[in-house]
Structure 1
Amino acid sequence: MGKEHHYHSRIVWTGAGETGTKTYKSYGRDYTMEMDGKVPILGSSDPSFGGDPTRHNPEDILVASASACHMLWYLHLCAVGGVTVLDYVDDAEGVMDEGDKNAPGRFTKIVLRPRITITADSDPDKATELHHPASEKCFIANSLNFEVAHEPTIIVAEG
């Protein structure tokens, strides 16, 4: 076993209103995510489940976490592997099956679709190949029980 790192967060429900959870529609889904020393994140449930569409929901945050973790490992591997990345934008997508009475809902897949711009003197094949070890090293992807696929596009900057 390797070195352990501990992460702490506090979720504070702010949607009790006057009646709390008296009925399914009587309470708000809003909450605040707090981590010591960091800006709070305003959260709610997905609008499909009565949430505020202007706030982050757990599903969005899960997809963004997988995307960010992959990106950070990828950038590390590029930096130590001689690939100079100039730009990285990922339009990631998560697929969630809501389930039914016989099966609980769950995510079935996340697809990362990063568009990466590299310098002209960097190897585009290596830039593509480095997604595999980045995927293998990503702490978030390794913790999930579904596929995190990647469909990168490599753009070579001119001159």
Structure 2
Amino acid sequence: MSKSHRYEVSVTWTGNTGTGTSGYRDYSRAHDVTAAGKEPIAGSADPTFRGDPARWNPEELLLTALSQCHMLSFLHECARAKVVVTAYSDQPTGTMTTTADGSGSFDEVVLHPRVALADPSQAGLLDELHERAHKVCFIANSVNFPVRHEPRP
């Protein structure tokens, strides 16, 4: 049985410096991402595209969504398998290629999860649990590029 889930956010450009988009260099890429009951996320473009390096850019947020989804799916699979995780961290990396016409796309994202277990003798189960998590990750199933995971000790 399938269920439909709806999500809603608001993205508001805050970068009008007085002349709107009168020229490529005449406006800020600043924007706010909000959702009911949540703190706003300060967004911008990547600094390569005249963005503010102090703000989150869409490319970083895509990596974040993939990492979060894998982590949450992995923790769920561990709980189902009676594998007690005591710590988890990830430092995902992504490669994006732009083209001469200004478009671009991600080539791949690699997750680098580090996991600590209550019972280190269960470490042999982690590869299979990461694979299961990858298969059920909503976000990884929604992108058109490879998402790999290379666990780190």
Q: TM-score range by the shorter chain?
A: over 0.9
Residue equivalent to 1:157: none
* Alignment correspondent of 1:128: 127
Partner AA of 1:66 in structure 2: L
Q: Flag the 1:64–1:41 CA change in 2: closer, same or farther, 3 A.
A: same
Shift of 1:41: 0.4
Q: Does 1:117 align with 2:116?
A: yes
* Structure 2 residue 66 is the aligned partner of structure 1 residue 73: no
2 CA distance for matches of 1:57 and 1:121?
A: 37
Contact 1:82 1:122 in 2 (8 A): no
**1:128 offset after TM fit, Å?**
2.2
Query: What letter is aligned with 1:46?
Result: D
Q: 1:140 — aligned with what?
A: 139
Distance in 1, matches of 2:32 and 2:15, equals: 10
2:85 match: 85
SS for the counterpart of 1:153 is coil
* Match in the other structure for 1:27: 27
SS of residue paired to 1:109: strand
CA apart distance, 1:153: 2.6
With normalisation by structure 1, the TM-score equals: 0.92
Superposition map of 1:49-60 within 5 A: 49-60=49-60
1:43-82 CA-to-partner distances (Å, cap 9, x unmatched) read 0000000000000000000001000000000000001101
Question: 1 CA distance for matches of 2:51 and 2:18?
Answer: 17
- Give 1:122 deviation, angstroms: 4.8
Counterpart code for 1:126:
L
- Once residues 91 and 43 of structure 2 are traced to their aligned partners in structure 1, the CA distance between those partners, rounded to angstroms, is 21
- List per-residue Cα deviations over 1:91-130 (Å, max 9, x = no partner): 10011101223x8300010000001011235511112210
Query: After TM superposition, what 4+ stretches of structure 1 lie above 3 angstroms from structure 2?
Result: none
SS in 1 for 2:60: helix
Tell me the SS of whatever aligns to 2:33. Answer: strand
In percent, how many aligned pairs have the same letter? 44
Q: Using the alignment, how far apart are the partners of 2:104 and 2:120 within structure 1?
A: 46
Structure 1 SS opposite 2:139: helix
Query: Structure 1: any 5+ residue segments left out of the alignment?
Result: 155-159
